[in-house]
């Protein structure tokens, strides 16, 4: 396996005056509530170990208060960890001097914010060009690059507007253009689409996926929305009370939740729309293609499209194709079984 772009090793964050002294209590298994009650310190992050691969979208999901926004701010050290290592391309961010940290923030990581955080007194063009002008590039170069990325996110013609003249969705496009102008390998997106209304949010998700197909950035995306997480994630990390409940390939988590918290989470979503053929197919053995197949399907087709294709007949079976090559078979009975949540939540009661 190649070296991950970002890896977090044993990361702890405790808020309070004597945070360093509290780490040992947490390591010994003290809970968030007990730490607050007995020592008046708030546990933010608890033993986080996550690897983020280059070119992937890593989605960190959790409810509010789970520490996800705290986590993303550790990557560029907007928040200092209490203990642990933050490695970016194998280099420990914690060991950087102030100047080196600034350089790293300028050249390695860009960030998109929930509340956009644009400069209200500057035009859209100058906002998008800000990361380059911070590095001291001349104005013409900043403007050229900014114009290019504004056009790419669909804001051509708005260069001379001020942020306050744009809608929320358009402001966030400026935010994304700003991050892209920085031309960094890593993009940190802190609940970037949470402040937008649902239709605009879907547009922005599509825009992000489209850009990602082309640019292959390492994206760390924070969200509290499971549908958004499943749509975007190559690697999904689920946080609860500051610790990682489960992480892995999103389809895998959906089919094999290892915690009641996650089971409860995933029970509400439309599994047929999220799950894909690749997650439930049977791998082909010895290249034998069954003779009774009803047709060929793509490996990334959703189960919903499969149900439509089969007309609801569970006796059908299909050959799964990837790049024109048969790689597996799909039995409609297995498909129907996968649609049933592994453990139905008892009378819908949520107890987290």
Partner 1 sequence: MAFYEKIFSALGLKDWCGEAGDGAPLSMADLMAQANGGDAAANGPVFPFPSLDNLNESCATVLQSRDVTKGIENGFLAAKPALKSVLDPITQPLSWMLDGALWLFEVTPWFIMIPILVAISWYASRSKGVTIFVAVSIFLLGLVDHYDVAMQTLSIIFVCTTISVLLGVPIGIAMSKSDNLQRATVPVLDLLQTLPTFVYLIPLIFLFSVTESKLYGIAIILYAIVPVIRLTDLGIRLVDQDVIEAANAFGMNNRQKLLRVQLPLALPNIMAGINQTIMMSLAMVVIASLVSAPGLGVNVLRGIRNLELGVGIVAGIGIVLLAVILDRVSKAALSRVDMTRVKH
- Residues lying near partner 1 in the complex (CB under 8 A): 76, 78, 101-107, 109-111, 113, 115-121, 130-131, 134-135, 162, 164-165, 178, 182, 188
Q: Based on CB atoms, which residue is closest to partner 1, 107 or 194?
A: 107
**Separation of alpha carbons 185 and 311, rounded Å:** 45
- Least distance in Å: CB of 105 to partner 1? 4
Q: Based on CB atoms, which residue is closest to partner 1, 103 or 258?
A: 103
- Least distance in Å: CB of 117 to partner 1? 4
- Least distance in Å: CB of 197 to partner 1? 20
- Least distance in Å: CB of 165 to partner 1? 6
H or E segment at 298? strand 296-298
Q: Based on CB atoms, which residue is closest to partner 1, 4 or 163?
A: 163
- Least distance in Å: CB of 184 to partner 1? 10
Backbone phi, psi, residue 293, to 5°: -65, 145
Which strand ranges, in their side-by-side order, compose the sheet holding 91-92? 42-52, 6-15, 83-88, 91-92
Helix H, strand E, coil C: the string for 199-253 is HHHHHHHHHHHHHHHHHCCEEEEEECCHHHHHHHCCEEEEEECCEEEEEECHHHH
Q: Based on CB atoms, which residue is closest to partner 1, 93 or 262?
A: 93
Q: Based on CB atoms, which residue is closest to partner 1, 134 or 289?
A: 134
**Separation of alpha carbons 253 and 246, rounded Å:** 8
Rg of the chain over Cα atoms, rounded to whole angstroms, equals 23
**Residue 65 token pair:** 């208060």
């Amino acid at each position: 396996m190649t070296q991950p772009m970002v890896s977090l090793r044993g990361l702890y964050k405790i808020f309070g005056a004597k945070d360093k002294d509290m780490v040992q209590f947490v390591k010994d298994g003290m809970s968030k509530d007990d730490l607050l009650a007995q020592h008046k310190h708030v546990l933010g992050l608890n033993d986080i170990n996550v690897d983020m691969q280059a070119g992937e979208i890593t989605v960190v999901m959790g409810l509010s208060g789970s520490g996800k926004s705290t986590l993303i701010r550790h990557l560029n050290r907007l928040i200092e960890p209490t203990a642990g290592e933050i490695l970016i391309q194998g280099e420990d961010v914690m060991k950087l001097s102030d100047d080196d940290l600034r350089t790293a923030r300028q050249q390695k990581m860009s960030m998109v914010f929930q509340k956009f955080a644009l400069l209200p007194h500057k035009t859209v063009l100058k906002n998008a060009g800000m990361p380059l002008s911070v590095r001291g590039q001349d104005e013409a170069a900043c403007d050229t690059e900014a114009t290019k990325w504004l056009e790419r996110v669909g804001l051509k013609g708005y260069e001379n507007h001020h942020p306050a003249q744009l809608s929320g969705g358009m402001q966030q496009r400026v935010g994304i253009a700003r991050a892209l102008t920085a031309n960094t390998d890593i993009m940190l997106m802190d609940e970037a689409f949470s402040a937008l209304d649902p239709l605009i949010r879907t547009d922005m998700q599509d825009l992000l996926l489209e850009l990602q197909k082309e640019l292959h950035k390492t994206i760390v995306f924070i969200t509290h929305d499971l549908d958004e997480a499943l749509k975007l994630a190559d690697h999904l990390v689920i946080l609860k009370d500051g610790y990682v409940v489960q992480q892995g390939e999103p389809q895998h988590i959906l089919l094999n939740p290892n915690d009641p918290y996650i089971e409860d989470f995933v029970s509400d979503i439309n599994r047929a729309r999220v799950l894909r053929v690749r997650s439930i197919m049977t791998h082909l053995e010895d290249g034998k293609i069954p003779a009774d197949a009803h047709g060929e399907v793509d490996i990334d087709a959703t189960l919903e499209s499969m149900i439509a294709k089969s007309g609801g007949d569970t006796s059908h079976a299909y050959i799964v194709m990837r790049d024109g090559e048969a790689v597996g078979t799909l039995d409609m009975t297995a498909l129907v079984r996968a649609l049933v949540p592994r453990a139905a939540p008892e009378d819908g009661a949520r107890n987290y």
